[in-house]
Structure 1
Amino acid sequence: MADPAAGPLAGRVAVVTGGGQGLGRAFAHRLAADGARVAVADRNADAAATVAAEISSAAGGTAVAVPVDVADEVSVAAMTGQVVDAYGGIDVLVNNAAVFSTLAMRPFDEIDPAEWDRVMAVNVRGPFLCARAAAPVMRHAGYGKIVNISSATVWIGRPHYLHYVTSKAALIGMTRALATELGPAGIRVNAVTPGATRTEIPRATVTPEQERAIVAGQAIKRRQVPGDLVGVVAFLAGADSDFMTGQTVNVDGGAAFH
């Protein structure tokens, strides 16, 4: 890790939900490398602690693990209070936590309503609750960045994940409305739509044949990895994107042009 004290996010505080694994873990590492003090927020407290320890053991990285269920208002309020107590504020919120890898592909009329509700609770209510909790802290500072992690599935209408695709489309609408509402307070809100990204999280529903089909449909002929996304999230978290809000950046290797 380069010297975080000289990084573009030095002095900033960043919260990454779902930071205990996958893309969230990668985002947490990159923001810490850029100088941010990172709160690794995850429902799995052990996973969050592991990632925070990884960051803290690196050269100069600063991180704390914070347990949270983003779908629960009380839990989100407690997380926010813990971060403010630890670091004095919140400058960046990356709304990354989502239900996806555990979902089985099935036709929309076979999706159990309880599963639909759980996906909406985590993937839509979660970012809403986290933004609502962080916004007063950002307003007080007169500055803030909210980065919502949506999905490139919304551009292609991927079948057999109707609840997931719908939830991620909702995040784009949320991004635009929040950007308008929070802009006068100095808070920027943007979204990223990642393509199919290979992480350490097992995905039983993605077969080798499906992986080959994913790559074949992209302009860039290789699997996407977390490193393809961290720079975009870091850009949206940093000062270089200060005059950018309400936007959605698609990063999927050219599978969809947006």
Structure 2
Amino acid sequence: MTTLLTHQNRVAVVTGSGRGIGAAIAVALAQRGAKVVAVDLQSPSATVAAIGRNAVGVAADVSDPNGWATVARVAEESFGDVGIVINNAAFYPNHPIEELDLDTWRKTMSVNLDAQFLSAKQFVPAMRRNKWGRFVGISSNSIGLTVKGMSHYIASKMGIVGFMRGLANDVANDGITCNAVLPGLTHTVATEAQGEEQRRATWQAQAIQRFAEPEEIVGPILFLTSDDAAFMTGQALVVDGGQYRVG
């Protein structure tokens, strides 16, 4: 099979790329020709090794402006201007409202939502100069489901949809698009601890009755970050096997 080089000469930042969905995104972008800046709290060496010379790893806290300054510096020194930003890093503890404290609320917002803003502040200027850019915020289909103990997480993930829609209005005339992708539960380290009964309860609410594999979330992201999606912005694509139904 011949892989289309739809992302050749693009530089992409992928956060939370040490494993799971983030690693799958990073590898897929590289296969399409992109140079990848793989970001995680600890440098994602396994992801970089899987890609090879077209990737560089960065250890950074995406809730901290200094972390984004480091990402930008490494990207520029390694590959040049960043044109694609995939904010995938997430913080998702389960706490019912009685147990949810302000520190957990704030950390959830800073990792999941502040990072979207901080990345835009860091990379929009170069994208404007180059008249091309792509932001994709990884939200969650949980914003439309009845999930207990996740009010903070759902608020942050709903905020990603709102921020992408608002940012799209600000940057559209410069060839920059901003969209959100809402995955369902995916087969990752985070979901392996779930029991069979809990898994089946999730599957039975879906048209496709199984968890997604990380690689199955990648397709819409490849599309949204390509030239093919130049007229698509401010949108939220749900990729969850048919669980989240409109109406």
| d(CA) in 1 for partners of 2:25, 2:218 | 6
Is the 8 Å Cα contact of residues 44 and 67 (structure 1) preserved in structure 2? Answer: yes
Q: Tell me which of 68, 71, 80 is aligned to 2:72.
A: 80
Contact in 2 for aligned 1:157/1:165 (Cα 8 Å): no
1:249 to 224, 234, 237: 237
Report the Cα distance in structure 2 between the residues aligned to 1:222 and 1:122, rounded to whole angstroms. 28
- Deviation by residue 1:85-127 (Cα, 9 ceiling, x = unmatched): 2111111100111112xx2x33222112111111111011111
Q: Residues 1-20 of structure 1 correspond to what in structure 2 (within 5 A)?
A: 7-20=5-18
* Matching residue's letter, 1:36: A
Which residue of 1 is the match for residue 176 of structure 2?
A: 187
Question: Is the Cα–Cα contact under 8 Å of residues 10 and 83 in structure 2 kept in the other structure?
Answer: yes
Length-normalised TM-score, structure 2:
0.95
Cα distance in 2 for partners of 1:91, 1:211 equals: 37
Aligned partner of 2:161 in structure 1 is 172
Give how far 1:201 is off: 4.0
Give how far 1:2 is off: 5.2
Are residue 63 (structure 1) and residue 52 (structure 2) matched? no
**1:67 counterpart letter in structure 2:** A
Aligned residues: 246
Q: Structure 1 residue 230 and structure 2 residue 218: aligned?
A: yes
Q: Which residue of 1 aligns with 2:47?
A: 51
Question: What does 1:142-157 correspond to in 2, within 5 Å?
Answer: 142-157=131-146
- Between the aligned partners of 2:47 and 2:74, the Cα distance in structure 1 is 17
Give the whole-Å Cα distance in 2 for the aligned partners of 1:222 and 1:202: 12
- Report how far residue 25 of structure 1 moved: 0.4
Provide, for residues 169-215 of structure 1, a one-character-per-residue CA deviation record: whole Å limited to 9, x for no partner: 000100100000111121100010000111144654x2221101110
Q: Which secondary structure state, in structure 2, belongs to the residue aligned with residue 108 of structure 1?
A: coil
CA distance in 2, matches of 1:82, 1:178: 25
Does the Cα contact within 8 Å between 1:2 and 1:33 map onto a contact in 2?
A: no
Q: Look up the equivalent residue of 1:34 and give its one-letter code.
A: R
Kept in 1, the 8 Å contact 2:185–2:191? The answer is no
Segments of structure 1 that go 5 or more residues without pairing to the other structure are none
Letter in 2 for 1:38: V
Which of residues 119, 127, 139 is equivalent to 1:130? 119
Partner-residue secondary structure (3-state), 1:154: helix
TM-score (norm 1): 0.91
Deviations 1:46-86 (A, max 9, x none): xx122111111xxxx61111121101111111211210121
Q: Matched residues in 2 for 1:114 and 1:2: separation?
A: 49
- Percent sequence identity is 37
Partner of 2:38: 40
Structure 2 counterpart SS, 1:222: coil
Whole-Å separation in 1 of the counterparts to 2:233 and 2:244: 22
Deviations 1:193-245 (A, max 9, x none): 000111144654x2221101110110112221112111111111111111100
Which residue of the partner structure matches residue 96 of structure 2?
Answer: 107
